[in-house]
Amino acid sequence: MEVPVLPRQNGPFKYDVYLGFGVTDLRLMSFLQEKLEQHDIQCYPKYDPACSQQSIKSAIAEGVARSRKCVLYISQSFIEDSWYKTEVTEVLQKAKRFSRDMVVVLKDPQLADVPPEFKEFTEFPVPDTATLENPVFLNSLAVALKKGTLLHC
């Protein structure tokens, strides 16, 4: 039985990262969440089977508000998600209040380009889904999320 990760209790943010993604990317993002948590980065995923009682709208609002950074996996599934506009609105409002550096975009390799609303944010290159399993990529992403600086691999 997996023990749920408890939120941090110090500071204004209870989580290090909000993970935004499309529902069909759940398996891939659960894997990324597991790897990030091995780097001591606490995640708040948009779709979390453990929190099935919570509405998606409130999960998005709470996740974005209570996390220091937002990692968005931009895929066709994400763009076509029925909660896309709500999520974009929450993330953009937070970026305006804090910093555009708090948003990290991971672009699905099948997607030609990121939507215009995400062009101003730092894009972390993900040439293929196997990249998310690459220790060099994961270490670089972890450093970026912890220190706020991007180290491209």
- pLDDT tens, position by position, 50-75: 665 568 888 899 999 999 999 999 99
φ/ψ of residue 78, rounded to 5: -65, -45
Between residues 153 and 127, the one the model is more confident about: 127
Q: Which two tokens stand for residue 48?
A: 């979390």
**Domains annotated on the chain, with CATH:** 15-146 (3.40.50.10140)
Residue 61, classified by CB atoms within 10 Å of its CB into exposed (0-12), middle (13-18) or buried (19+), is middle
Place of tokens 């935004």: 20
For the residues 17-42, what does the mean pLDDT come to?
A: 93
Q: With 0.75 as the threshold, say if the pTM is over it.
A: yes
Whether residue 4 has pLDDT greater than 80: no
In angstroms, rounded to a whole number, what is the distance separating the alpha carbons of residues 108 and 100?
Answer: 20
pLDDT band at 13 (very low <50, low <70, confident <90, very high): confident
